[in-house]
Amino acid sequence: MHDGNLSIANFTLDNKLTLMKLLRLILLSAILIVSIQATAPAANTSAIEVIGAEFDFGYLPYGITLLQRIKIINHSDSLLRITKLIPGCGCTRMVPNRWEAQSGESLAFDLFLDTKKIGRGHFQKSPTIYTNSAAGQRIETKMTGVAANPGDYALPVELSPNEIVVHRNASNSIPVSIKNVSKDDLTIKLAAYTLDPNIMITLPPTQLTAGRTELIKVEINENRLPAILSDSFTICLNDNRKTRITVPIRWED
């Protein structure tokens, strides 16, 4: 009888210990689940995407007005609003196409830089855009390059003309000669940049050998261009300095 009571008592005690272990395991699991839920990244509800925020124009004619296009896409589930624009200096203007974008929509900015107001040589400008989005409340842009007169720098190619002036009611196809004045063969690429869709650039199809001259074809649909034209295209070379050169495109004054 005594042995039977002892067995029952031991059995009850074992059950209590097992139950306590089970409760402790359940509690730890619950804490772990809550912790994972608290620290896991939220769904893409506050994200914005910025395209074209930075661009290196390379060498460009001093005195022109540069245009840099920026696109902001609202991937969040709430309204994106531009709250403030800071150009940075009197040489830069910021022109948005609108101030708000619903979920899935986008905003576009035109950044204009008047190189006459910054002088010749290297430049870097960083206009800033402020929004109501926690993911991109402060968007810093960057425009870099070298404003120069012809002959200021020894470049591996010569372009003629180095600036395209569009005459109304004139030919819509403008050739730009490019001569390799270096000792090495060069390849030419067009920098990834959003031109006006009514301007098309065709580069030479082959490698530009040393001493050779080829043509870059610029085709323009002037009937659909804006009243104020301040565009450009930038070529990239594969020389040791990875030279970039920008050719402005503007209306005749």
The domains of the chain are located at 1-40, 48-148, 157-251
Read off the pLDDT of each residue in 32-59 and give the average, rounded to a whole number.
Answer: 64
* Total residues belonging to the chain: 253
Q: Which of 117-131, 137-151, 169-183 has the lowest mean pLDDT?
A: 169-183
- Mean pLDDT in the chain? 82
Check if CATH label 2.60.40.10 holds for domain 157-251: yes
Judge whether residue 10 has pLDDT over 80. Answer: no
87: helix, coil or strand? coil
Considering the chain, what percentage of its residues have pLDDT values greater than 90? 52
The reply to whether 48-148 and 157-251 are identical in fold is yes
Read off the pLDDT of each residue in 57-66 and give the average, rounded to a whole number.
Answer: 94
Contact between 138 and 130 under an 8 Å Cβ cutoff? The reply is: yes
Judge whether residue 59 has pLDDT over 90. Answer: yes
- DSSP for 163-226, written as a single string: SEEEPTTS-SEEEEEEEE-SSS-B-EEE-S----TTEEEE--SS-B-TT-EEEEEEEE-GGGS-
Tell me, what's the pLDDT at 8?
Answer: 40
Distance, CA of 237 to CA of 249 (rounded, Å): 20
The answer, as to whether pTM is greater than 0.85, is: no
The CATH architecture of the domain made up of 48-148 is: Sandwich (2.60)
